[in-house]
Amino acid sequence: MKVVSFYRFLDLPQAGQFRDDLQALCDEQGLLGTILVAGEGFNGTLAGEELAVATVFSWIERQLGLDSAIDARWTEAAEAPFLRMRVRCKPEIVTLGRPDILPHEKTGIHVKPENWNALINDPNVLVVDTRNHYEVEVGTFPGAVDPQTDNFRQFNQFAAELAEQDRNKPLAMFCTGGIRCEKATALMLELGFDEVYHLQGGILNYLQNVPEDENQWQGECFVFDKRVAVDRDLAEGGYVQCHACRRPLSTTDLESPHYIEGVSCPHCVG
């Protein structure tokens, strides 16, 4: 089945009613996944038939009067990576802890996948992976800084410390599907950085559009569903997930004496 990730920052004043109507439509179309809605927009991942997803996208575009089609990252899965369909209202569609940061009003410069390599290979540019530490362990771009966060809310502290060091250095930021790095660039602009870029559509868009001989991604890409990670071809990768701490586990982790299925792994045994 198709698995599609998407988001849009925009003003959404009637988030509650939008949530109710969207839940009903997704249920009607037999879709599974999670969509978050807030005053700042929507963010979700859906799994199901391509026509059903297209029906939902068309409804959202009409309902909100969007001036362009929803930009989405499409992959495939052999079986449903979600157990249910949930549309939820939240204070933010990506939890930075700063609902006042509005990327649809001010954000960094989008960089298309085909132009990303040139940017991150510039020695004057600081490349920042805005994802969590356990995601970075699975894969990242060469030379990228790991903020060492366990959740996106912790990125605030990393950003503040970085701003104290050098606000004049150009930043190139990326994440899985584009939403975290887009909000992160808005934060960095508020902190006084002048030149901030982010990878349009995130890692998934890069893997989908950059030819194999030009692809600089190292490892796999963690995804927040039952697949755990996808490889450079966007096929299900080689990781499994610890059911105790939810960390992605490599084949080396599975060989550890500390790995007991459903109980513990080398990351959480203590």
* From 26, 175, 221, 265, the catalytic residue: 175
Strands (E), the chain: 2-9, 32-38, 41-48, 72-76, 85-89, 109-111, 126-129, 139-140, 171-174, 196-199, 218-219, 221-222, 229-230, 240-241, 248-249
Which structure tokens are listed for 44? Answer: 């979700």
**What is the C-alpha to C-alpha distance for residues 125 and 76, in angstroms, rounded to an integer?**
34
Taking each helix axis as running N to C, give the angle between helix 15-28 and helix 50-64, from 0 to 180 degrees, rounded to the nearest 10. Answer: 160
Task: Give the SS3 label for residue 205.
Answer: helix
Asked if 175 is an active-site residue, the reply is yes
Q: Which tokens in the block code for residue 183?
A: 């909000």
Q: Which helix (H) or strand (E) holds 253?
A: helix 251-254
Contact 211, 165 (CB under 8 A): no
Going by their DSSP bridges, the two strands 240-241 and 248-249 should be labelled as antiparallel
CA proximity to 8, closest of 156, 183, 129, 155: 183
- Is the CB of residue 135 less than 8 Å from the CB of residue 176? yes
**Contact by Cβ (8 Å): 82, 226:** yes
Q: Which residues are the active-site residues?
A: 175
